[in-house]
Amino acid sequence: MEGSGRPLVAVLMGSDSDLPVMREAEQSLALFGIPFVTRITSAHRALRRTVALVERLEADGVEVFVVGAGLAAHLAGVVAGVSTRPVIGVPLEGGSLRGADALYSTVQMPAGVPVATVAIGKAGARNAGILAAEILAVARPELRERLRAFRQELERSVEKKDRDLAAGGAGGGERTA
């Protein structure tokens, strides 16, 4: 969580307007007790600042970058070009293409400079936080256990929804044609 110990994950975004979506990544990280820092920077409007920020965050011990950007969406690629740490790109909705342009910009990286790319928008941001947890869990058994418990809770949630549906809740139940 932000401010609780050395951050292991940096959540970066190009604008404060991206914050409502990127909060989903923060919530995922907080769910697993992963310390993080959130910053706003820009691949285009503040390139030198972005490079310095990434280098400083690495020196401070950040192990994974979760990066959200819309439209041209070059921020994740710039971070990946500067860092050898894992970069997870979150394409954000915006403009007339509703995030498709950001998706293509984020996923189409040249060979040798990977950016792991998740879905557009809030679901992608949430999954980016979970993916960051999975990356960190490779070397952290206690985090692996929290991830297992999370997945078991997801399974229980599906089973409960199915039981509720079968019992006639949520407009469901047994039907015949």
Under 8 Å between Cβ of 115 and 89:
yes
Gap between the Cα atoms of 143 and 129, Å rounded: 13
Q: What is the pLDDT of residues 146-161, one digit of tens each?
A: 999 999 999 999 999 9
Q: What is the pLDDT of residues 63-101, one digit of tens each?
A: 999 999 988 889 999 999 999 999 999 999 988 889 898
Total-model pTM: 0.91
Tell me the angle at which helices 47-59 and 75-82 cross, rounded to the nearest 10 degrees.
50
Domain boundaries, the chain: 9-139, 141-170
pLDDT at 174 over 90: no
pLDDT of residue 3: 47
Which fold does the domain 9-139 belong to in CATH?
Rossmann fold (3.40.50)
* Closest listed residue to residue 8, CA positions, set 66, 55, 53, 48: 66
pLDDT of residue 141: 97
The amino acid at residue 125 is: A
Q: In the Cβ-directed half-sphere of 20, how many Cα atoms lie within 13 Å?
A: 2
